Structure 1
Amino acid sequence: MPPRARPMAADERRAELTDVTLGLLRVHGRAVTTRQIAEAAGVAEGTIFRVFASKEELVDAALARAFEPGDLVARIEGIDRDQPLSARLLDLVGVLQQRFRATFDLMLKVELVGPPRHVHDSEEAEEWRARLTLLLTDLVGEDGDQLAVPVDHFLHVLRLLTFAGSHPKVTEGRLLTPEQIVETVLLGLGRRD
């Protein structure tokens, strides 16, 4: 007999199933079954369809969750501002690379060519980009005077190189290290006295 699901509100059940499904998508890709999801969540398979209309709706919710900021803000805020700029940037690139690599791995596993539309084309996405810009500008802080370009341009280039240097297809399997990224950007965009 299938396990009896612990009673919980529909929103809570949706969140739990979404998290479980996201973990399974990272392993099985779109081939994951509702039976695997139910077993991993400790519920009967029918419980899934009490809160999701279909497996596709559940998978879509899990993929949307993968693109949420999650703990990224806290990790960036946790970077020690007393370190030299290069050390802060190394920490930042390490955080961003972990995020990018996990996202790229998932996208390859589920054969997703690009992120879901809402990730770039929504008011929420605009708000997130603005918040991230403020976080990163704060991370540079008063050391912006060490740069030969405006801080926003420097950060744009840093993020682009981190993104491209973290993608296994773009780099042809030769991923860039945080040190390579930071040295390249600081050398290219740092002030020359």
Structure 2
Amino acid sequence: MSPEQRREMIIRTALPLVAEHGMAVTTAQIARSAGIGEATIFRVFADKDELLDACVAEALRTDHVLAEIGAIPLDQPLPARLAEAAAAIDAYLARMGLVIGALHATGRREPGAGEPGPDRAAAMTRTREALAELFEPERDRLRLPVEQIAGLFMGFVFSRARPAAAPRRSPSPSRSTWTSSCTARSRKEPPHDDHPEPHHRDGRRQRRGRPLLRRRHGP
């Protein structure tokens, strides 16, 4: 096993233990679960804090969720595609929340400087681009450009997964309702006239504000 593979194996083993125990997890627990000696961990990481930094960075990485979204077949109906994408994002947010939440609850406030996290703006951009691909087959039916729809859908999924600070006054829309609202009317469809011009009973159109028949002046 190469040093990089050993490093990835230790982080992968540590993640569920960190999510369960937070800062209280020991390197002995991680080594036992990985089937290696505790000294092996310290040949890869300088100390436990560096290992925890690596676990946080791994939990924040979006590579896996982007791969899952990219593997969704485009020949599926749009609601099915969006359901798979939302499930992948939900799972990513749940994993991230468990790891970071457990560390925060057990006293860890700021990440260390040894393991840089992902660029948040770049990660959001890549996620939005991956979601936009799911809307491409319906581009002509959508009311908005696919890039804008993808951003709105991403915000919908993220806000639905985030715990509310106060009780919501009304329930958030379901994915099927959200999808229907996006495709309900084509962008090329002409606007509906809520005030149609009145018609005379013989079928001729009457102009608004003007009588249909002109008055004669004089004999």
TM-score, with structure 1 as normaliser: 0.76
1:89 partnered with 2:88:
no
Structure of greater Rg = 2
Decide which moves more: 88-97 or 8-17: 8-17
Aligned length: 178
Deviations 1:28-67 (A, max 9, x none): 1121011111111222222211111110001111111112
In structure 1, what is the equivalent of residue 119 of structure 2? 120
> Aligned-pair RMSD on alpha carbons?
3.0
In structure 1, what is the equivalent of residue 35 of structure 2? 42
Code of the aligned partner of 2:119: H
Q: 1:114 to 1:150 in 2, by over 3 A?
A: farther
In structure 2, what is the equivalent of residue 158 of structure 1? 153
In structure 1, what is the equivalent of residue 175 of structure 2? 181
- Return the match for 1:143 from 135, 138, 143: 138
Q: 1:145 to 1:85 in 2, by over 3 A?
A: same
TM-score, with structure 2 as normaliser: 0.68
1:133 partnered with 2:132:
no
5+ residue gaps in structure 1? 1-7
1:25 CA displacement: 0.8
| Structure with the bigger percentage of helix | 1
